[in-house]
Structure 1
Amino acid sequence: MAIREVSLWLLLLCICSCCAWSKSVELNYADALAKSILFFEGQRSGKLPASQRMTWRADSGLTDGAADDVNLAGGYYDAGDNVKFGFPMAFTTTMLAWSVIEFGSSMKGQLENAKAALRWSTDYLLKAANAKPNTLYVQVADPNADHRCWERPEDMDTPRGVYKVTPQNPGSDVAAETAAALAAASIVFRQSDPSYSNQLLRTAIKVFDFADEHRGAYSDSLGSVVCPFYCSYSGYNDELLWGASWLHRASQETAYMGYIQSNGHILGGEDDVYTFSWDDKRVGTKILLSKAFLMDKLEELEVYKVHSDNFICSLVPGTPQFQAQYTPGGLLFKGISGSNLQYVTTTAFLLVTYAKYMRTTGEAVSCGATTVTAANLVSLAKKQVDYILGVNPAKMSYMVGFGDKYPQHIHHRGSSLPSVRVHPQPIHCGDGFQFLYNSSPNPNVLVGAVVGGPDSQDNFADDRNNYQQSEPATYINAPLVGALAFLAETVQKPVLY
């Protein structure tokens, strides 16, 4: 199949999957970008600033860490509950940072808001990493107890115990991901706040050394409180390679390149696994290292470009390596967990990022006899983002507050319960379930939240009890920030279907 034929295939795929339900839809990517960043304010824990725009939220978790005589106030609730899970929070942070690194110049008036969202997380991760020697705090609150309640963050009366990894109870996965987050963020703040950037990088180096020297999965140390919520299913090798790759990019120290070259083959660098998520970093690492090969001319990293090309080919129907699944409406469907859109947003981000690298160097991807260009990758990524924003069989935006039709009953405590400004009296643990089970729309609009999304047949239940489809999460939004920034900059006018 020639280049022209690939472009034709993408056009036909779009026409076949869109024409049956869509007459005309205008997509404002800049508006979606602003809302995707605003969402993070609804997930904040701690003392809220005067600049808080999601005004139905109030202060919460102010004494987090007191159980171990440390200050762990701040950070993000990962999804619709009131637990602060360090593993997905660190991945969220890395992806927010990567979004700004690659596409910050395309964010226009939203760049400072994106950096504020990033800093809310890095401030917390610095506390978690520096509170005590040889210790990384990785979680606040027992999720089992938390899930027995339905209450606002502002009313929490469930145990706020803290959980940590140490040399005796290691967690290389969560520690290396934290190192990646801090290293990536150090690049973002290098020009605007050099002192803060240096602090981030120093801490990243320390935490990575801790992860590498004391190897072990945090699921083995903290299984009862991290599983089945955020078990490290892929192990910790992928995070070690991911962390080293970000430290190399942030520091340019040759020692990290030596680490990558010496350890890459045993840390998953030669595995063709095509799921990029809070748990599995392998394909993301290969795209990241491909940049160093394509743009920095580090020939020793060519193998990662080969594996990145294999990932691209896996997404393109008709190629020998094709193995992806799409819904009848054209949405990438992984079928790994109920929250499918987390894989869609990470894939869209990787596609536009790799397309950027390819455009800069004039590269293309060869999938057998098929040649795939940067433009093809952008078209595929755009189709996935457009689906999320409403170009789909249900004609529904899966981003709350975007478009005329979006989920009204999301699985989210703070959004579903009356706000403290409207109902200042506490709503205790069991009292909130009446709001979980009623049929009324959520009283507080969590603007910008992207939910888990439809099933393999494009069906979606706008039901608070169906958390697999209706629960938002920070790690769904974070990569979408970068993809939307790219589209807002490159698509000059809203697209008409």
Structure 2
Amino acid sequence: MNTKRITLPVILALSGVSFAATAYINQIGYRTGGFKELTLFEGSGNVDFVDQSGQTVLSVTPSAAANWDGSGQSVQLVDFSELKTPGTYTIKVNGQEVRKDLKIADNTYGEVSKALLKWFYYQRASMALDEQYAGKWKRSAGHPDMGVAFHSSATGGSGTVDSPKGWYDAGDYGKYIVNSGISTYTLLSLYEHFPAYFDKLKWNIPADGNLPDLLAEIKYNLDWMLTMQAADGGLYHKLTTLQFCGTVMPNEDVDTRYIIGKSVTATYDFAGVMAVAARVYEKFDATFATKALEAAKKAYAWGEANPNVFYKQPHDVATGTYSDNNAKDEKNFAAAELYVTTKDASYKSEGAFTTIPGWADMSGLVTYSKASHSDVFSDAAAAKDSLLAAADRYVKNASTGFGVPMTKGDFYWGSNSVAANMGVWLLYAYYLTADKKYYNSAVRTLDYLLGKNPMDMSYVTGFGSKSPMHPHHRPSQADGINEPVPGMLVGGPQPGGEDIGKNEWECKDYRVNGAPAKSYLDDECSYASNEVAINWNSPIAYLAGAIEALNSGFAPSFAVNGVVALPKVRPVLKAVDGSPKLRFDSHKVFIESNGIRYDLKGKKLK
């Protein structure tokens, strides 16, 4: 019998079935005058943007399709930066409606930025969260941490110690010096870079004297960190129970808590953070600043005398370890920050590095410090070169796929924080050069985290058309409220599958073979992809907060156009009448006083 072969397209045409294109967007929205881009999958023809009256206001031809190894998809990028009128738009591809939730607005990241920062308030230990500040997520106080006993691993400790305050580390109720280190540093640097902006920004948290909200929140954790320093200067590693508790609220976790371990990595992390705190808080509380600096110096001295005291998990403890056996990066970090604060040449840091910062490798923070303090470090130029070399790679990586600088190998535990830290890195490159390619790629990275990704979801709870509803976060799991605590960045997709198993409390296999960027599960069981943590929230809080500050007219404090450092600008500032401030508008820096604008030489601008 003679048969005719019917191809798939013919079958689909005969049946009336067709593949629908998918448009992945930043679900929070795009800035009116800013860079705007979406990712298109399985689309053909132009992409049309239709306003609420039904009029097509922009039509864009997508870039050529290219495979993205993170998800295994062949996708196109669509630049619609010319769409500048505020509003909500429908997106059509080849006449077919693919979504109608595209938002264009001013101050796009203002609310999500404040929520990302306010989440640290929700993580506070040792205090009740009142309805006035916490709304429906109010809760009783948990973990007063008064009279905490020393575990046998906490060498040199005897009796008990009062160690209240601090932030819960993640979805559990432990408090860890190492992870507090990089988290607190990141938030301190956000304030240090944009002090005038954050001096006035508020997001409804309890006041602490005359401190701005950001510094009030940070100090709540710094106060705890100071209680973890031993009399000899070394830092105890963590304060936790022996085992993780069940799914209960903080006040219901009544197991005995201990001061556990001592480590050189925690000690150097603490030294670096306190060195930054000393210079940031000096203008608000000189006594506290002096206390922080003396604690930093004492810690650094202990680290030099005890270079091989690494944390080893005791056999009866099963809470987070945060251990590594290489303290060179932590020592370099501490030395760099102490040198910036004290100008004491005995604090020597080595080299410049291109590693994205993380709790286990702080070397990238050394590069940040050196590149942004050209008036302090003799090797600042080399650090800047290293930083820009890495930033150029990220710009190239972000030019295809979903616009994120990540490659397939960057999807490991906490991948969303990898993306956020890459975005921060790109902002440093922008500060140092004023080259918009770095700024645009930083924006692309935030786009990815807020919806322009293969899961088509915002990874920040409470924000976006689709966001996580079941994070691995004990308060959100146990409080009886349908919505999780807002402003949390979940860990994100990664193929490790550490939470997959046959037990009832473990996850079924959610991994997608060959697509790490799709290996994610919005379920409470998934601590490997859906937990939250302070070191994940801090870089996205920096990223969103810094972008808002830049677009509100504030220049980064340490450098102007990569040439003029603040110390060189101060004489000009003093010479200008009134209360002059540096401003950053349309990616240009100027001085403004009493409504009059001046260039960086003090000359009036027209």
Asked if these proteins are the same fold (TM beyond 0.5), I'd say: yes
Deviation of residue 234 (structure 1)? 6.6
Aligned pairs (5 A) from 1:158-169 = 158-165=255-262
Give the partner amino acid of 2:370.
Answer: L
Match of 1:289 among 339, 357, 370: 370
- Show the counterpart of 1:72: 163
Match status 1:35 vs 2:35: no
Match of 2:103 among 7, 25, 28: 25
Give secondary structure in 1 for the equivalent of 2:457. Answer: coil
- Show the counterpart of 1:396: 457
CA distance in 2, matches of 1:289, 1:36: 28
Match of 1:304 among 376, 380, 383: 383
CA distance in 1, matches of 2:332, 2:316: 26
Match of 1:313 among 392, 399, 407: 392
**TM-score when normalising by structure 1:** 0.77
| Aligned 8 A contact 1:96 1:482 in 2 | yes
Change in CA separation of 1:151 and 1:215 when aligned onto 2, cut-off 3 Å = same
Give the partner amino acid of 1:152.
Answer: M
Change in CA separation of 1:56 and 1:210 when aligned onto 2, cut-off 3 Å = same
Match of 2:212 among 100, 103, 112: 112
Aligned pairs (5 A) from 1:147-226 = 149-165=246-262, 171-219=263-311, 221-222=312-313
CA distance in 2, matches of 1:81, 1:113: 25
| Aligned 8 A contact 1:106 1:488 in 2 | no
What is the total number of aligned residue pairs between the two structures?
A: 424
CA distance in 1, matches of 2:526, 2:77: 26
Deviation of residue 51 (structure 1)? 9.0
CA distance in 1, matches of 2:540, 2:491: 13
- Show the counterpart of 1:348: 423
CA distance in 2, matches of 1:116, 1:52: 17
- Show the counterpart of 1:370: none
CA distance in 2, matches of 1:413, 1:326: 38
Structure with greater helix percent: 1
| Aligned 8 A contact 2:265 2:327 in 1 | yes
CA distance in 1, matches of 2:342, 2:433: 24
Aligned pairs (5 A) from 1:119-134 = 119-129=219-229, 132-134=231-233
CA distance in 2, matches of 1:491, 1:226: 47
Structure with greater strand percent: 2
- Show the counterpart of 2:356: 275
Give secondary structure in 1 for the equivalent of 2:236. Answer: strand
| Aligned 8 A contact 2:264 2:308 in 1 | yes
Higher relative contact order, structure no. (Cα contacts within 8 Å, ≥ 6 residues apart): 1
Deviation of residue 246 (structure 1)? 1.0
Deviation of residue 140 (structure 1)? 1.1
Deviation of residue 458 (structure 1)? 4.0
CA distance in 2, matches of 1:351, 1:385: 11
Aligned pairs (5 A) from 1:369-408 = 374-408=435-469
Match of 1:138 among 222, 237, 249: 237
CA distance in 2, matches of 1:349, 1:17: 22
- Show the counterpart of 1:358: 433
Match status 1:418 vs 2:479: yes
- Show the counterpart of 1:62: 144
- Show the counterpart of 2:539: 479
Give the partner amino acid of 1:283.
Answer: G
Deviation of residue 48 (structure 1)? 4.0
Give secondary structure in 2 for the equivalent of 1:58. Answer: coil
Give secondary structure in 2 for the equivalent of 1:468. Answer: coil
Match status 1:446 vs 2:485: yes
CA distance in 2, matches of 1:297, 1:132: 32
Give secondary structure in 1 for the equivalent of 2:103. Answer: coil
Change in CA separation of 1:46 and 1:13 when aligned onto 2, cut-off 3 Å = farther
Give the partner amino acid of 1:181.
Answer: V
Give the partner amino acid of 1:89.
Answer: S
Give secondary structure in 1 for the equivalent of 2:260. Answer: strand
Q: Which runs of 5+ in 2 are unaligned?
A: 1-34, 39-61, 66-74, 80-92, 151-159, 203-210, 495-515, 554-606
Deviation of residue 135 (structure 1)? 4.1
Give secondary structure in 1 for the equivalent of 2:420. Answer: helix
Deviation of residue 388 (structure 1)? 1.3
- Show the counterpart of 2:403: 330
Change in CA separation of 1:233 and 1:477 when aligned onto 2, cut-off 3 Å = same
- Show the counterpart of 2:192: 101
- Show the counterpart of 1:371: none
**Alignment identity in percent?**
21
CA distance in 2, matches of 1:92, 1:344: 15
Deviation of residue 382 (structure 1)? 0.7
Deviation of residue 357 (structure 1)? 2.7
- Show the counterpart of 2:578: none
| Aligned 8 A contact 2:461 2:468 in 1 | yes
Give the partner amino acid of 2:253.
Answer: M
- Show the counterpart of 1:367: none
**TM-score when normalising by structure 2:** 0.64
Q: Which of 1 and 2 has greater Rg?
A: 2
Give secondary structure in 2 for the equivalent of 1:356. Answer: helix
